[in-house]
Chain A
Amino acid sequence: MSAVDRLQFHQQLQHELRENGIDGEPWQSGARTLDGSPWLIDEAQWQQLELGLAQRHRLLAAVLADLYGPQQLLQDNIIPADLLYLSGNYLLPACGLFNVANAGAAPSAWLPLLSADVGKNAAGEFCVLADFSQLPDGLGYLLEHRLAFNHCGSQLPALPKAQLAGFFRQLLQLLQQPAADRSTLVGLLAPVAKNAGYFEQAFLANYLDIALVHGADLMFKDGRLWLKTLTGLQPVASLLRYLADAKTDPLELDPSGSGCAGLLQSIRQQQLFCANPPGTSLLDSGLLLPFMPALCQALLGEPLLLPSAPALWLGDEVQLQQFWAAPANYRLVDQRDGRRYHLSRLVADKTAVESYTELKAQIKQQPAAYIAIELQPLSQLACWHPAAGEQMLAGQLRLFSLLQPEKVSVLPGAYARLALDAMALQNAEVPQAELTVKDVWVLADRGQTSSLLQSSVQQLSLSRQSGLVPSRVADHLFWLGRYNERLNLICRALRSALPLIANPQANPQHAPEAGEDALALLRFCLKANGSQLVAAAHLSLPDLMEQMFEPQNSTGIVAVLKHLLFNAQSVREYFGEDTWYVLDKLQSAIYQWPQQLKWQQPAALLRQLDEIILLQTAIYGLNNETMSRTQTLRMMDLGQHLERALQTSALLQTVFVPQQPAPPTSAALMEAVLRMADTLMTYRRRYRSELHPLAIIDLLLLDDSTPRSVGYQCARIQRQCAKLPQLAASTMLSPEQRIALELVSLLQLADPQSLFDSEQQATPALGMLLNQLQHRLRQLSDSITLSYFNHAQQHSAWQSF
């Protein structure tokens, strides 16, 4: 590969990551770098890893089943009881979770999914550095890496690598298995707080086509968990858990957790399959590492195939001495609170003498709480980076496996992380931005299944699930529709207003009124996002402009953009890849907002507005193309058209119904209004005449065939309301249908001739009509919130007593 090709390929790969939105907030944290050459593992080496991990998985499940059950391992002193009881990750409420009904419950229920970091030791052999059972981090990333290579991979030699889809299909089957009938759901339980992991979780939920849910979307009732959806409560059969152990159940575990009260109870009732159940994080702090060979003999009656990194329990006098003989060779984990200590750094750093002395005293006080894990040199792999060129980095692999009662399946690939400092990598101290990652190819032909969507049987059951919309999601989509439309109208109004302000001479006919016209449009813009200033009609042009463009102002254009993005990101998993890309672009628009506002020379500002309008029009288009979920789309559509009806009514009121006696609306302003609504051409075709207020009102308010008229919006709202899920079995109209009918009737019954007097001034009837419309539209928004979203919002806080 030539240097130019190489750079191009490198950039293409990074672009694939960005496009998937995984690195969605570029100004917050840098993205990891996906290296262009995969980590290759030959078949023989892979078989060893596969067998070793499969054995480890069976073993660890059996260990958990014992420690949270009969505790024979403690009674036989294979695991020191002191160590277990000191561990902050040993959750007493999880004891006996699976032992209620049948004492012989399969241990596999304790650990359906395991991931483990492996790396090479000094002898060049793989050993396990750490287990991860709490959150399967990396499972989405590795999939993304493979997809990136599939897209750009033509430049690499075609190697017979093992495919990944089979593993994910098995994962899905395992999650779907507990569902006795197909009406029960599978969810990915994610934390509410947005973090780097959120994008991975959303990506995985989308790939598996399972609902991404938060604790607040769930509720316990009748012995099981339910998902709150637009169509009512739907039973949940399984959860793929991405929420920390202690946070999963505010009743029995951490009361501040964002999970769902009753989650543990529903597992006890055998009504919930959780991958993995709360309590498994016990494995993740290295507590078991010193005892693995003995455990394997005791529980499986066979030698351990894949060794762990040598580890010491400092509660044992001999091992404690061994540790102090060479502390810098170890990383240390306090099992009480999970704190990690990088000993080689502490020992070498002269400025850290104090904290080292303190640590020594702590260890002396309670040595039994510490596990020391020997650091490994890891393998060195060649990586290429445009800035650093070719360099050798230390790397480790994260492997994944699934445990079913009958068998273990190991994912034939891995999430590989590399960094210059092998020690920092093992201590999880390398920030995402400095991390290099590699796709891992297992060079073995293991059946060619490249897509998850091949089995027609699976597909049938899946597509029924995606029709369910959690209430929280519906809420965000509704508001996404509203804010998107609000932004659109504001941008269009500004686009009409700016030329009027900047260059009144360009329009000599109407020069005197130009300033007033621009003010009217600006007032509309500010009012659109709830500004109260509008009554103060005396505000000057510079004041209004500052209000509009000041990024901190809560009613300005940046605030609208932020609201839009917040709602979009809260439901990111519902969008296709292209929409993510557009959202990222919109997001960067905020951060490229001009610092110094030069509205006298509006060219740059106009370009920015054009760009935003284009991007958000793309959101409409893309979602109409890609969102298969009809109720999802309906919520966005309702939001969009409700907002358009509301703001168009407000605009017409601002333009035609003056607060105090004023000259008739200028032709320039009327033209701007028609231009905003994209209906100037229609108007000219229809009337071929001077601009006439009544004709404009007819076109933009009453006519229900113009796509931007209030009449058209109300007709559409009425159609959509009729298709909303019926929550109560009744032959009467729903509250939403009632309001929609009122809206349509208001317009149909209005007499156009009564709205203006002979001097083309608006009559009170017009003002009243516009007011009534806006009032009904707000009522409709409240009613939709009450009927469909409300139970999702109330959940924000658990109060414990």
Chain B
Amino acid sequence: MKYQLSHLTRYQYQQPIANSYNLACLQPRQLPYQQVLQSSIQVTPVASGLYSHLDSFGNVRHFIHLQSPHQELSVLASSIVEVQPRYLAGQLAKGVDFDQLQHCFINQSPHNQILASKDLLLARQCRFASRMIPLLPGAAALWAQVQQPHRTVLENVSALTSLIFNEFSYDPEFSSVITPVSEVLEHRRGVCQDFAQLAISCLRAVGIPARYVSGYLETQPPEGFERLVGADASHAWFAVYDPELGWVDFDPTNNLLPDERHLTLAYGRDYADVVPLKGVLQGLGEHLLEVAVDVMPLP
């Protein structure tokens, strides 16, 4: 599938801002199953400095400096992205079981000359608590509910995804980007970001490497299909590392495996690693934020 993607972020400030520095994570990354054919960032008012680099996860970051006094800032990221199907749904049974997975991580002593691939290093990094994802016993308890020893890790994760989908309510009124996982767990509600971080907390607590993925979802449903949640907004899900299959994505908000209709923007340990736009500015006063996302299929 081919998509025209646009993501507009607009800030309105109460008072004119003399100087602001922003760090964006808004350009979709290149992946084996995803090609970024075109991509651009447009800043209004005109940025006095715009630089890009890759972060430690390989995501594309833009450094944006605005110097002329402004009361409104808008950043429009547009791209054309082509996504291929991954055909993973039928393969979860080919993954490793829990003990095999743990075996990848036990022999970490320098005395054992096991060489690690880049993927395995990222997996190691995604086994620990991070700024936004503490390892909660309550989250780990979810694993006990779904885990069955004869299944592969990925099959169990799929069951976890269904559990979250069935037992937690989707409620955009409930949470914000900084709602802690513990509250999501306690109130059993949240949005895509919360469900992804909850699943990650659960998996890491039992020793399974899981990373946070930010992206978009095509919401215009094909004929005869139910409309999916997450319309016209950023979306988020998580991925689990399997030594046989690599990183496998799961979408707990929609209880499915992300495929052709999920567009990947970036990934990291948690939301804080891939905040779409953050910044510091000189000046006082409140600001208003407005985000508009549009994912349009191209012929």
Contacts and interface: CB of A to CB of B under 8 A. Distances in A.
A183 to B, nearest CB: 21
Given A80-B108, A81-B108, A220-B65, A255 B51 contact: no
Contacts of A221: 48-49, 65, 67
A78 B111 CA distance: 9
A315 interface: yes
A294 B18 CA distance: 52
A78 B23 CA distance: 34
A467 interface: no
Contacts of B124: 81-82, 85
B113 interface: yes
B49 A222 contact: yes
A6 B278 CA distance: 62
Interface stretch (A91-99, A353-361, A414-422): A91-99
Nearest to B126: A85
A251 B109 contact: no
Contact of B23 (A92, A252, A318, A795): A252
B91 interface: no
Nearest to A94: B56
Nearest to A291: B110
Interface residues of B, number: 43
B2 to A, nearest CB: 31
A219 interface: yes
Interface stretch (B76-84, B115-123, B234-242): B115-123
A798 B282 CA distance: 6
A800 interface: yes
Question: Which one of A77, A368, A797 has the greatest number of beta carbons of chain B within 10 Å?
Answer: A77
Contact of B282 (A85, A100, A795): A795
Given A222-B48, A252-B23, A95 B121 contact: no
Interface string B8-20: 0001000000110
A85 B128 contact: yes
B272 to A, nearest CB: 10
Category for how many chain A residues contact B: 35 or more
Interface string A449-493: 000000000000000000000000000000000000000000000
B280 A294 contact: no
Interface string A249-268: 01110010000011001001
Main DSSP-derived SS at the B contact region: mixed
Interface string A196-235: 0000000000000000000000011111000000000000
B21 A262 contact: yes
A798 B280 contact: yes
Contacts of A595: none
Contacts of A77: 108, 110, 112-116
Interface string A514-529: 0000000000000000
A117 B112 CA distance: 31
B40 to A, nearest CB: 20
Contact of B56 (A81, A96, A318): A96
Interface string A693-724: 00000000000000000000000000000000
B54 A801 contact: no
A236 B287 CA distance: 32
B194 interface: no
8 tightest A-B CB contacts, nearest first: A95-B56, A261-B21, A798-B280, A81-B124, A85-B125, A92-B56, A316-B109, A800-B280
26 contacts: A74-B116, A75-B121, A76-B115, A77-B112, A77-B115, A81-B108, A81-B116, A81-B124, A81-B125, A82-B105, A82-B124, A85-B125, A85-B128, A96-B55, A221-B65, A222-B49, A252-B23, A262-B21, A262-B65, A316-B111, A318-B111, A368-B108, A794-B18, A795-B282, A798-B280, A800-B278
Interface of A: 71, 74-82, 85-86, 92-93, 95-96, 100, 219-223, 250-252, 255, 261-262, 265, 268-269, 291, 294, 315-318, 368, 794-795, 797-801
